[in-house]
């Protein structure tokens, strides 16, 4: 997410906003209290997360970075240097590239790891960081397939046992005005929820370039990772990678309890140029007592765009994203009237405060649940079948290859065909 529906700057846009508000310069005595931060994935999203992490604590400092490109690392550090100055302490031998670079960052003596690579890598990176006893900020979604979600759920338990913090990049959970809205809903302001309709209609995030632009000699693996948003195993598809924010709000409204089942439609209207993700989905989730939740997304240019939530209850309706503030209409009318916080910054403020207090927080379970909820809709759309929560949770389909060779061949599975693609 780069631009929220409410006009807040996205994580990628944070650096462009400048260095306003960075706290004190470190003194020699205070540096002993420094929290060392390692960044895994130095693109726009990762660089924004790093800037926010460094702003969250007076004595946080960036000491190691991993990516697949040294040029990407250097550009990220140059931007961060302008924003955070002396808090950037990445020596030349702490800049790591390659598919194993994440291990080198985590093993470099950092205290906190920011995970911002394509989500297909997330289960592996998260496990390594947590087993090493690091506090983690983990971007969403947390996996791209069922085995990955189950792996993450195991890791969440390990984080609890190791007493480390795990904060998820489901940013709306850290928005004060959205949190207040869901508090109102939870306290019965609209009565019992009977239906939820969420939209995420937008343009393509990272369109797939034509095959003719692929450099001579570039392997399949490298080509796919450099264009990660267009491949199921790396991004999870548009519903799972982007519209998962809307799915997460549905989960929030339903108190993070899973649905019974779902059906869905989806497909690809605009040529995928060799990628294999859909550009639209519409999912119908069935919850207990006949409650329904509908999530629709589209990533197509020159179409009507909207990122909104319509929550219907027995006593009123809550609308988010259609106006400057959320509002409730009905028996208990209400609208948020306070000062909105920066939810991207607040995620890191909470993480670093938990570390300083020695009171770990763990978003892991709901992070995995919301990821699987989006994945469940994708499974239903791909297969054309009704999918239950238990089926989704126990899916054996592995999108992420067992072995990933940077220079290797890697065939791209065809676009799924509902009615023909089997649920696994």
For position 16, what pLDDT does the model report?
A: 39
Domain count, the chain: 2
What is the average pLDDT across 407-419?
Answer: 95
Distance CA 354, CA 362 (A): 10
**In contact, 163 and 374? CB cutoff 8 Å:** no
Query: Do both 234 and 126 map to the same domain?
Result: no
> What percentage of the chain reaches a pLDDT higher than 90?
91
Q: Is the pLDDT of residue 371 over 90?
A: yes
Query: Do both 313 and 375 map to the same domain?
Result: yes
Question: Sorting pLDDT into bands at 50, 70 and 90, what band is 14?
Answer: very low
For position 272, what pLDDT does the model report?
A: 87
Nearest to 60 by CA among 25, 35, 97, 90: 35
Q: Is the pLDDT of residue 34 over 50?
A: yes
| CA distance readout (Å), 300 to 64, 130, 204, 206 | 37, 38, 6, 11
Flag whether 423 is in a domain: no
Q: Is the pLDDT of residue 27 over 60?
A: no
What is the average pLDDT across 36-53?
Answer: 96
Flag whether 106 is in a domain: yes
CB-count exposure of residue 114 (10 Å: 0-12, 13-18, 19+): buried
Query: Do both 266 and 379 map to the same domain?
Result: yes
Question: Sorting pLDDT into bands at 50, 70 and 90, what band is 33?
Answer: confident
Q: Domain limits at 59?
A: 31-172
For position 11, what pLDDT does the model report?
A: 46
Q: What is the mean pLDDT of the chain?
A: 92
Task: Indicate yes or no: pTM above 0.85.
Answer: yes
User: Domain boundary at 116, 146, 172, which?
Assistant: 172
Q: What is the pLDDT of residues 67-106, one digit of tens each?
A: 999 999 999 999 999 989 999 999 999 999 999 999 999 9
Give the number of other CB atoms < 10 A from CB of residue 80: 24
Higher pLDDT, 14 or 49: 49
Query: Do both 193 and 54 map to the same domain?
Result: no
Q: What is the pLDDT of residues 200-258, one digit of tens each?
A: 999 999 999 999 999 999 999 999 999 999 999 999 999 999 999 999 999 999 999 99
Q: Give me the helices (H) in 85-137, please.
A: 101-106, 122-131
The CATH number of the domain where 129 resides is what? Answer: 3.40.50.720
Question: Sorting pLDDT into bands at 50, 70 and 90, what band is 22?
Answer: very low
């Amino acid at each position: 997410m780069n631009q929220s529906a409410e006009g807040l700057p996205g994580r990628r846009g944070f650096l462009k906003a400048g260095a306003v508000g960075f706290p004190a310069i470190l003194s020699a005595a205070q540096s002993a209290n420094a929290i060392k931060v390692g960044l895994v994935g130095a693109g726009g999203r990762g660089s924004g997360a790093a800037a926010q992490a460094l702003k969250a604590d007076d004595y946080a400092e960036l000491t190691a970075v991993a990516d697949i490109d040294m040029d990407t690392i250097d550009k990220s550090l140059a931007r961060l240097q302008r924003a955070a100055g002396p808090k950037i302490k990445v020596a030349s031998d702490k800049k790591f590239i390659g598919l194993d670079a994440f291990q080198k960052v985590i093993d470099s003596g950092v205290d906190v790891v920011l995970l911002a690579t394509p989500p297909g890598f997330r289960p592996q990176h998260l496990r390594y960081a947590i087993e090493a006893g690091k506090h983690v900020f983990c971007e969403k979604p947390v996996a791209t397939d069922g085995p990955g979600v189950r792996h993450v759920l195991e890791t969440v338990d390990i984080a609890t046992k190791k007493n480390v913090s795990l904060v998820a990049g489901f940013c709306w959970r850290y928005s004060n005005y959205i949190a207040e809205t869901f508090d109102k809903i939870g306290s019965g302001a609209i009565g019992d929820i009977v239906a939820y309709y969420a939209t995420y209609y937008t343009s393509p995030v990272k369109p797939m370039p034509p095959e003719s632009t692929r450099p001579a000699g570039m392997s399949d693996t490298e080509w796919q990772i450099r264009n990660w948003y267009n491949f199921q195993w790396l991004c999870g598809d548009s519903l799972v990678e982007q519209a998962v924010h809307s799915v997460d709000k549905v989960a929030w409204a339903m108190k993070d309890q899973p649905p019974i089942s779902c059906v869905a439609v989806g497909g690809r209207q605009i040529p995928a140029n060799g990628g294999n993700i859909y550009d639209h989905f519409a999912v119908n989730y069935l919850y207990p007592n006949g409650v329904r939740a509908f999530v629709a997304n589209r990533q197509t240019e020159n179409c009507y765009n909207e990122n909104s939530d319509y929550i219907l209850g027995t006593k009123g309706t809550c609308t988010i994203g259609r106006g400057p503030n959320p509002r409730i209409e009905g028996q208990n009318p209400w609208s948020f009237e306070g000062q909105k916080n920066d939810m991207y910054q607040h995620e890191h403020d909470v993480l670093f405060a938990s570390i300083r207090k020695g009171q770990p927080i763990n978003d892991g379970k709901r992070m995995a649940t919301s990821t699987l909820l989006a994945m469940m809709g994708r499974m239903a759309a791909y297969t054309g079948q009704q999918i239950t929560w238990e089926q989704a949770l126990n899916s054996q389909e592995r999108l992420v290859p067992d072995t990933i060779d940077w220079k290797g061949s890697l065939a791209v599975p065809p676009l799924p065909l509902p009615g023909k693609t089997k649920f696994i």
